[in-house]
Chain A
Amino acid sequence: MLSRTSSVNYIEINSLSASSFCQIGDSTEIHLLNKALADRRQYPFFYGREGNFDDYAIFNEPIPHGDYEPIPVQTWNEIPLIRVNRIDIKGCSFSSVIHVGSTCNVYAEARIKHIRELINDEPSKEAEAGTSSSASSQASSSE
């Protein structure tokens, strides 16, 4: 275990959210996993149980990692102290860590899928040409 003491005089954090944390003190293993499906709609109507992670490949596909090659390291802590005066953090989210102290292994993974849905209220070119698209007329009537 690496042994250096971390000393922080003052820390201010505004917000911690979505699988993130602030650790003061040493730790050995940190595992963070976060999946987010962010859907923005022009017409803000959402059913409570919408969305399924299994429908999107991004939530299941393996993320390639580089090969871990342990190198023999000899560390000599002449002054075993890390001193910080002041830390000011506005926000921390999506599998993130604010850590004051030593750790051993950290593994974090965040998978985020963004979707934007806009309502097409103008008649499409096909509709203007005569081959009316029922989809676009339904959208405009629902407004």
Chain B
Amino acid sequence: MTRFHTDALTRRQLLGAGAALGALGLAGCATPGGPSIGRVVVVGGGYGGATAARYLRLWGGNVDVTLVERNASFVSCPISNLVLAGAKRIEDVTRGYEGLRAAGVKVVQGEVTAVDAAGKKVRLAGGGELPYDRLIVAPGIDFMWEQVGGLQAAVDSGRIMHSWKAGPQTVALRRQLEAMPDGGVYALCIPLAPYRCPPGPYERACMVAAYFKQSKPKSKVLVLDANPDITSKAGLFRKAWADHYKDIVEYRGNAALKSVDGLTAKLEFEDVKASVLNVVPSQRAGDLARTAGLVNMNNRWVGVNWLTMESTAVPGVHVIGDATFSAPAMPKSGHMANQHAKVAAAAVIALLKGEPVNQTPVVMNTCYSFVTTRDVVHVASVHQYDSADKTFKTVPGSGGLSAAANQVEGRYALSWAQNIWADALAG
């Protein structure tokens, strides 16, 4: 969730990190209270990876945990659509890793370029290596640029934003919206499911519309969805658009983007010229999953054993979050990644200690979406492990949607963020 292609790491920092890591190396653990039960490297410090690192320390006692993350801070995708509305600043959805450091996690800002599963070590950009007994990979998603002609060049040039990894892209899209003259068209292209955060694009349409309603009332939000219909909370979003943004939001299903030309979105049968074009590209497991040989489902996602989150392709490597091939009706969300992380942390600790792994894990998801800057709708689900089918299944009769958008859940949504950020980052 928090990765970008800017690499702020200097050679000196990397060497320093390598030296520090070497010091903990094979000599066992410096943690007080006994010898280390093992070394765990966690790659990726988003919702999944950060939570895994935190809970390994919380539950594991003397376990050496190293978290490798590209970015200096955690930037949350959830709540970041409020930055587009102008209701939050990017700083409001940004948190540091100091809490994890205080909890005994060695946080290394860096990039893992390769996994040597046979040698049980990961290689860092710049040459360092980190040995592990168990590896947890939380690579998030990367984009399938090849599906839309001209898209990667347009995003690289800064003309088109995806803003589907929160951070500089979020800020840049907000600037484009601010610079857009009143009367302009903001077009949002949504890929076919599955993608990260099913209701996210529709929430984004609401947040941009809320900004237009207040500041640029002659402007339009045009939603071009490759899916036949809204993929999540459909009735609630449709009602929000009718109630609040009647002359602002226009929705078109079955409107798959084929290519981009300047700020023109080329669909199968028509061209749509936008003032601001925001394309959410199709997604797959993050690059590291591919280079590590973890991608074994549909050439796109990572298959896992749901009791341990261990990869079905590479032993000793556990994979969590959006990169996994989802269980039935399991969303790709920050909340779910946090829940995966706890299953993985418990299993890794049990495996390191030679204890039995929990055979009855339960995970759940709550997703709040803002339809105005104060009114929120949710979708929730609970997933119990089914030992016969070896997967998580939703519990019949549980879960569901908000009856209607409301401001009580607007407060809960912000409290949810406070709590899950603290849960993941120990701060």
Does A associate with B in a complex?
A: no
Which residues of A does B touch, CB under 8 Å? none
